[in-house]
Amino acid sequence: MIRFGLCCIFHSAPITFRRTTAKYLLSRPRGERLQRLSDICAHNAASLEAALRFCDAHGIGAFRINSQILPLKTHPEAGYEVQDLPGGHAIVKAFRRCGRLSRRLDIRTSFHPDQFILLNSPRPEVVERAMADLRYHAQVAAWVNADVITIHAGGAYGAKEDALARLSAAIALLPSDIKHRLTLENDDRMFTPRDLLPVCRAAGIPLVYDVHHHRCLPDGLSVRKATDAALSTWRREPLFHVSSPRFAWGTGPCGPHHDYIDPVDFPKEWCEHTVTVEIEAKNKELAVLKLIEDLASPDRR
């Protein structure tokens, strides 16, 4: 019933994703720059294939792809087009191969662009950069067969309702290849499921319900009510997030994630449905495998 998802990287399995920094890259001559980017992108395509095969071999049904799979792709100075890299064509082919593999193995893939992607900023240049980043995500998503690109609602800028109205307006203007993959996630500081559900319904965008964020920032909805409401926003298999807090309630900040998931934190309401649940835990694949085991054992909780 439940498809468990691994987020971005591995704890123990020898599968790594390379990155680089703009500062270092821009210190190198142009030829070397493009060669290095090519090496990294080719490595990451091969690692994505290995990641999909690992998931298949271990009963993990979903994999979140790190946004830096093509590092610095949309950077204002260090950014590039993949076809301009040495061997760029082969790199795209390798990603398309991952897409076919994900279909064949039925490993669902997703993206979760980071906190700088803000569709509701009052600053037009911030929104334009966010759009450029979403265009990049949608392009790679098409290659690798990812059906979900999850973002947060953004900032409140002192007026939540206005911020949500700007978000709705920005979503309405998105090209369809972005919009039909875009999803909104409740965060742990500002926007709750109750805030986002109307936006999701009006825009036809699914809600990625993060139950840990909801526990950090409650809104009066029970887990069951939020779950049911989130489920109703999906026209395909729903996707949720779960994590356990690093610090016990009241003994530290709510945000940081634990190494593993305490099965008690996994909403029993979710078990009645066919859903994807991405596991946000520091020990990565070890945490996913342990949770699968813990939830399968009859004497849990």
Partner DNA sequence: AGCGGTCAAGTTGAT
Partner DNA sequence: ATCAACTTGACCGCT
List interacting residues with DNA (CB under 7 A): 7-9, 16-24, 27, 36, 40, 67-68, 71-76, 79, 114-118, 121-123, 126, 129, 133, 154-158, 163, 189-190, 253, 255-257, 280, 282
Q: What CA–CA distance (Å, rounded) separates 201 from 199?
A: 6
Given the complex with DNA, which of 47 and 231 has the nearer CB atom? 47
Terminal-residue alpha carbon distance, the chain: 20
Q: What CA–CA distance (Å, rounded) separates 121 from 232?
A: 28
Q: What CA–CA distance (Å, rounded) separates 266 from 285?
A: 17
Decide: 273 and 231 in contact? Cβ < 8 Å.
yes
Given the complex with DNA, which of 68 and 168 has the nearer CB atom? 68
Given the complex with DNA, which of 181 and 212 has the nearer CB atom? 212
Residue 57 beta carbon to DNA: minimum distance, rounded to whole angstroms: 20
Decide: 185 and 208 in contact? Cβ < 8 Å.
yes
Given the complex with DNA, which of 180 and 246 has the nearer CB atom? 246
Residue 281 beta carbon to DNA: minimum distance, rounded to whole angstroms: 8
b/e per residue 224-253 (b: at least 16 CB within 10 A): eebbebbbebbeeebbbbbbbbbeeeeeee
Residue 182 beta carbon to DNA: minimum distance, rounded to whole angstroms: 17
Residue 100 beta carbon to DNA: minimum distance, rounded to whole angstroms: 25
Residue 75 beta carbon to DNA: minimum distance, rounded to whole angstroms: 4
Alpha carbons within 13 angstroms on the beta-carbon side of residue 206 total 23
Given the complex with DNA, which of 108 and 212 has the nearer CB atom? 212
